[in-house]
């Protein structure tokens, strides 16, 4: 029965739905717990340091293990890795949702990150092999990119709803519904694929990059205690050294974990850098916007989540237009202009005031940010994976996701330092709504600078003709050139 289903012409579109749903789960789990943290902290008796680790554990395990997860998907089988990762993610979510102590919740979140590191590259590699070129690929990546771009905001809305009307535990247990749907759909509609040829694992490379990225992410996660903190410096230094050794090792081994050809290509490398900047802005801006909505404007969890909806709605509204433009103007103009639109919205958002009207000061900026992000995320996935050999599809997908996670961690620490510098200049007794708002505004301005940098990266690195930046069939190339 499953072979008949897979042979049906619509099967790959059902597979796209399952893969996109998987990406939604992976992305929204980075934010869905954020709104529920105060309730979880009180219920489990966690101190502020352990509360931080509920968020950090997921990003740390996810970002550090993505490359290894990508190679496992390539070598062991992408569908097999997808299904095993989904089962593990569901069990980890159940464990975290039933936690009776803070350390259990942190451990559950770390396990979620481990299995997400298997899921994310397997899903994207499956998408790449399912839609190898042409207009269907553009449409598929438009759907996938929209889901990826909106996932963080969807997590905030869903987290707010579940926290307010049910219990904080449901922010984790809700994953079981997604897992069941994805397991059934994956078994029915996804076909197996894996890399051919030499499939030996680069164990030294895996160890170096995992510990190196883990050290780097952890160093940035504790940087809010001070950039001069010896512990911060030590972890960052160890991370940089280990990653340097990793690059050296990858040039020496016969079957590297990360073939340097995947990241050495100028266009693809530029796409990875833009992905990192976009991740930092989405994660950082979303967090500080949530703080402003709840702490300064006094919104409840659900109200704050709903107030962030203009951002994903803007992305979804512009997604069809961005998809059509991808086949005509090409990705380069979109990757230059999209970040500038987001930067303009962030500059506008930086002028928020303590008593400002949400509909005047915040909603328009979020809507325009969503518009701009549509022109970033939709072409980005295509460009990042264009020209990648089937043997490297999983690892290239892993780098794309890792760039988002590592970029988000680094960006958030930078924004936190900017916020702390602005608020820390005042005595604790003087920190009122006006001072907090000033700190949030400073982070939005820093995020705007980051998006301008992303545009500069696109100008200098994402270069070439439109037909060279996107995989197409010969007939479609001719049609595009005729326009």
Residue 330 has a CB neighbour count (10 Å cut-off) of 21
Radius of gyration of the chain (CA): 21
CB 336 within 8 A of CB 458: yes
Q: What is the pLDDT of residues 46-105, one digit of tens each?
A: 875 677 677 777 877 887 787 788 778 877 888 888 899 999 999 999 999 999 988 899
**Could you tell me the sign of the dihedral formed by the alpha carbons of 66, 68, 69, 73, in that order?**
positive
Is residue 345's pLDDT more than 90?
yes
- For 117, the token pair is 């590191």
From the list 53, 115, 107, the residue with the least C-alpha distance to 87 is: 115
- Condensed to tens digits (0 to 9), the pLDDT of residues 435-454 reads 888 888 889 999 999 999 99
Q: Which residue has the tokens 């759909």?
A: 185
Predicted TM-score of the model (pTM): 0.74
Judge whether 273 and 335 are in contact, CB under 8 Å: no
Q: Which of 386, 342, 390 is nearest to 366 (CA)?
A: 342
Distance CA 143, CA 151 (A): 12
Mean pLDDT of 377-404: 73
**Average pLDDT for the chain:** 79
Q: Residue 364 corresponds to which tokens in the numbers above?
A: 């328009």
> How far is Cα 78 from Cα 86, in angstroms, rounded to an integer?
12
Class of domain 2-201+257-470: mainly alpha
pLDDT at 433 over 90: no
Residue 75 contacts residue 122 (beta carbons within 8 Å): no
- Return phi, psi of residue 176, to 5°: -60, -35
């Amino acid at each position: 029965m499953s072979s008949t289903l897979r042979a049906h012409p619509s099967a790959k579109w059902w597979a796209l739905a399952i893969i996109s749903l998987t990406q939604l789960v992976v992305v929204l789990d980075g934010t869905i717990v954020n709104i529920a943290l105060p309730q979880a902290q009180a219920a489990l008796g966690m101190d502020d340091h352990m509360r931080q680790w509920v968020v950090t554990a997921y990003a740390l395990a996810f970002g550090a293990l993505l490359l290894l997860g990508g190679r496992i998907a390539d070598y062991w089988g992408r569908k097999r890795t997808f299904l095993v990762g989904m089962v593990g993610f569901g069990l980890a979510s159940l464990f975290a949702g039933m936690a009776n102590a803070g350390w259990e919740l942190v451990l559950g979140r770390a396990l979620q990150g481990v299995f997400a590191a298997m899921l994310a590259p397997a899903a994207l590699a499956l998408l790449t092999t399912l839609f190898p070129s042409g207009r269907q690929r553009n449409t598929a990546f438009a759907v996938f990119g929209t889901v990826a771009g909106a996932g963080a905001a969807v997590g905030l809305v869903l987290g707010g709803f579940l926290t307010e009307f049910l219990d904080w535990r449901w922010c984790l247990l809700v994953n079981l519904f997604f897992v069941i749907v994805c397991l059934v759909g994956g078994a029915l509609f996804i076909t197996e694929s894996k890399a051919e040829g030499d499939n030996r694992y680069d164990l030294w490379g895996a160890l170096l990059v995992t510990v190196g990225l883990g050290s780097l992410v952890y160093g940035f996660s504790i940087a809010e205690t001070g950039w001069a903190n010896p512990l911060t410096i030590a972890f960052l230094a160890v991370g940089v050294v280990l990653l340097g050794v990793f690059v050296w090792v990858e040039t020496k081994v016969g079957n590297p974990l990360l073939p340097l050809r995947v990241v050495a290509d100028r266009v693809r490398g530029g796409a990875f850098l833009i992905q990192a900047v976009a991740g930092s802005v989405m994660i950082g801006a979303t967090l500080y916007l949530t703080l402003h909505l709840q702490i300064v404007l006094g919104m409840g969890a659900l109200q704050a989540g709903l107030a962030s909806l203009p951002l994903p709605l803007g992305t979804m509204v512009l997604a069809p237009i961005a998809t059509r433009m991808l086949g005509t103007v090409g990705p380069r103009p979109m990757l230059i202009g999209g970040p500038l639109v987001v930067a303009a919205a962030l500059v506008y958002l930086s002028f928020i005031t303590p008593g400002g009207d949400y509909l005047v000061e915040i909603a328009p900026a979020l809507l325009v940010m969503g518009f701009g992000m549509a022109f970033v995320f939709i072409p980005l996935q295509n460009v990042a994976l264009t020209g990648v050999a089937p043997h490297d599809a999983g690892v290239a997908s892993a780098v794309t996701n890792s760039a988002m996670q590592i970029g988000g961690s680094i960006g958030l620490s930078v924004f936190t330092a900017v916020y702390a510098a602005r608020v820390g200049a005042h005595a604790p007794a003087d920190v009122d709504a006006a001072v907090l708002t000033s700190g949030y505004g400073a982070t939005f301005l820093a995020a705007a600078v980051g998006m301008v940098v992303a545009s500069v990266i696109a100008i200098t690195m994402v270069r070439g003709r439109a037909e060279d930046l996107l995989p197409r069939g010969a007939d479609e190339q001719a049609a595009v050139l005729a326009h």
